[in-house]
Each structure stands twice: as structure tokens, then as C-alpha cells.
Amino acid sequence: MPLDTTQTRLDRLRRWLDRVRPLTDPNHPLGAIARRELPSETALSEELVAWGLDQAFEINATDEELRELVDRVVPSPVAHVSLSANVFVGALRAIAVALASSSNVRVRCSRREPLTATLLHRAAPDAFALVPTLSPAPGDHVWAYGADHTLAQLRAEFPRGVVLHAHGDGFGVLVVDAGARLTDEDFDAMAVDVAAFDQRGCLSPRFVLLEGRPSKGHAFALQLLETMNRVAERLPFGPIDPAAQAEAARHRETWRYLGEAHTGKGGMVSLDFDGQPWGKPPSLRTIHVRLTENALADLVGQSDAVTAVGSRRNPALIAKIEASCPKVRWSPFGSMQRPRLDGPVDRRPDPLGCVL
């Protein structure tokens, strides 16, 4: 069977985005269900769920973005999707990527959060099939999202000849270069990046690379925490998992000894003056500031793990980031959790996939 043309794939994507738009409308039955049930399904606050639907549900893609998405996705006879539960809005992009590949799409929900995919299916039931298990055949493409150990299990389970697009563990980084003159709006935007989805997704910033002296780091940490506290008033935490709380406490005590750690109702900002080894901070809106002489050099050293970078809108800085780390997604402060719908959010895997 011949594969779909580029125009056919573009038309299919646009129609689908238009059909799932009601999920963002609180007055539509599907939108009402989403706002009512997703907080308990995701353990996010009602305010964060509403923010995600209003600000990060990627239905308003431009024609240029959809063209880029289609150009980045390999056409296939059958496309399979294995969803993660970490960030509920991620289901829309994951399914969009599969629809850019094939008209025959099969989606396995996360057992922890099946609601988003179910609502998307109710909005457009003929666009894709919901399946309890994935059974790809050789030549089929699978887009899988989740922890690295989950993806390793899939590699062992799938037959030879399946093409796997594995999007695993990663984190985001905020870059503040030496020439930055940050405004209150910049701090507010960074704080929103940290708060979104309670920092669960692979785009969530866990580090700040800050070029400057220790005194600058101390002042930056305090101002960022103050802003995070204010953001938490309009985007409060969801229910806090005791295990995550214990992990955050260990991080706090470690950095009180090694550097600085400041806590508030909006989360935690820790500060490293001495270039200690990288170690992914916990969630619960914890951001770790690393003082550095060269942010780009430090970023390159971690580029295999970094999925996303946020920075100020400085063309020269953006060009350096994209040249140094071509597989890392750049977004301006405040947009790390709502990037352009121009392909998978994680650009590290080979776009052609890996043949098992």
C-alpha cells in the first residue's frame, strides 16, 4: 500500500486538531469533563490543569509548524504510540506525531492517566484506535514515551524489524548569560516554566546555568524563589507525594551543606558555587542554580540528557545554543512547557528511528 503524500498528512493533522479543540472549552461537555476529572487523574491542582488546557494544549499550530512536523516524521504503514502519564497535554503531540506518519494509528494509554487519550478519542473516534497492548509488526513505527527502563522493556518485547522512536528520560535547563539584564517579567516567566505540571515532564527545567560571580548567584536565587512563591498563589501545587517530599528534603539538606538551599511555598532554589557533579534534582518545583564561567560549555557537556533550553530572546545567544546543541529544543523564558508544534518535543532520537 503506498504511503500518504505530504499534503494528505498535513490535511489529516489540521482536521484532527480542529476536532479535538473542544477539550479546551470549559463549556463543551468534553472540556468540562477534562477540567473536572483531570485534577484527580493527574494529581495536579485544578489551576494547573486549567493552565495546561488553556496554555499548553497545542491546537493552534500554524501551517508552517505543521509542515515542519510532517517533514520531521517518517511516513509508515502503521504508527503505534505508547503514552507516558507525566504530562497530560503530551498525549496530543504524541498522537499528532503518529498521525503525521500514518492514517492507521494505534494508541496505548498510560495506566496511570488514560483520561486525556480517551477524551481525544471521543472527540475524533475515527482518527486513531485505543488498544490495550501494542503489537507492532516488522516495518511498523512505534513512538514510545517514558522512563528509560520502560523503553528498555519495550525493546526486549518488540519483534525484530520494528522501528522504535524512543523518547526517554531528560530535563530542561535555563541559561542566563553574563550579558543578561533580567526583568521582573523574565523571573515570572522562568518561575512559570518551573511550576508547570509540577515539574514532571522532560521539558521541565531542573537547572539554571548562571554566568556570574557568587554574589550574583545568591541574589538570583532569592529573587527566583520570591517569584516562584508568587506564581504558586495562582498555580498551586497538587497533592504532594511523600516519596517526592522525602527526596526534596534530602536535596535541601545536601545543598545547605555544599552551597545554599532556599525554600518557600513555591518550591526550592539550591545554589552550587563550586561546580559539583551534575545530578538531577527532584521534582516538587526544585531548581538548581549552577554558577559557571561558560554556560554553553557546561550545556554541551550534558547535551545527551538535556531536552530543552530556555533563555532570553537574544538572537546571538540563541544561535550559539542551537549551534552548540543542535538536538536541544530552544524556547524563550516562559515557553519551555509549550513549544511550537513542529515535531516531537524531544529531538535527541534519530528522526528515522531505530530498527530493532
d(CA 163, CA 59): 27
Is residue 99 within 8 A of residue 127, CB to CB? The reply is yes
Q: So what's the pLDDT on residue 276?
A: 87
Q: What is the pLDDT of residues 232-287, one digit of tens each?
A: 999 999 998 899 899 999 999 999 999 999 999 999 999 998 888 888 898 899 99
**Dihedral through CA 94, CA 319, CA 349, CA 6, nearest 10?**
60
All structural domains of the chain, each given as residue ranges with its CATH number in brackets, are 6-169 (3.40.605.10), 171-332 (3.40.309.10)
For residue 116, give Cα distances in angstroms to 58, 120, 145, 173, 349.
Answer: 13, 6, 15, 27, 25
Mean pLDDT across 25-45: 97
Cβ proximity of 260 and 270 under 8 Å: yes
Question: Distance between CA 162 and CA 319 in Å, rounded?
Answer: 36
Helices 115-123, 6-20: inter-axial angle, 10-degree rounding? 110
Cα 188 to chain center, whole Å?
19
Type of residue found at 335: S
Chain-centroid distance, C-alpha 52: 12
The label of the residue with cell 516562559 reads 334
Task: Render pLDDT for 316-342 as a digit per residue (tens, 0 to 9).
Answer: 999 999 999 999 999 999 999 999 999
Sheet holding 306-311, edge to edge: 260-264, 267-272, 286-292, 205-211, 171-176, 306-311, 329-332
Neighbours of 150 (CB within 10 A): 15
| DSSP code string of 96-119 | HHHHHH-S-EEEE--SS--HHHHH
The angle, 0 to 180 degrees and rounded to 10, between the axes of the packed helices 90-101 and 115-123 is 50
How would residue 4 be classed by pLDDT, with cut points 50, 70 and 90?
A: confident
Q: What is the pLDDT of residue 279?
A: 85
Is the pLDDT at 80 greater than 70? The verdict is yes
How much of the chain exceeds pLDDT 90, in percent? 89
- For residue 116, pLDDT over 90 is answered with yes
Q: Which of 94, 75, 76 is nearest to 136 (CA)?
A: 76
Question: What does pLDDT average to over the chain?
Answer: 94
Give all strands (DSSP E) within 212-327, no chain letters: 260-264, 267-272, 286-292, 306-311
Backbone angles phi, psi at 307, to 5 degrees: -95, -30
The pair phi, psi for residue 107, each rounded to 5°, is -120, 130
User: How remote is the C-alpha of 46 from its chain's centroid?
Assistant: 19
Mean pLDDT, residues 17-39 taken together: 97
CA distances for 344 relative to 73, 311, 327, 352, angstroms: 9, 20, 11, 12
* Helix spans in 235-266 (H): 242-258
263 vs 191: CA distance, rounded Å: 14
Q: Measure the CA–CA gap between 330 and 43, rounded to whole angstroms.
A: 28
Residue range 167-197, pLDDT digits in tens: 999 999 999 999 889 999 999 999 999 999 9
Q: Return the pLDDT at 1.
A: 59
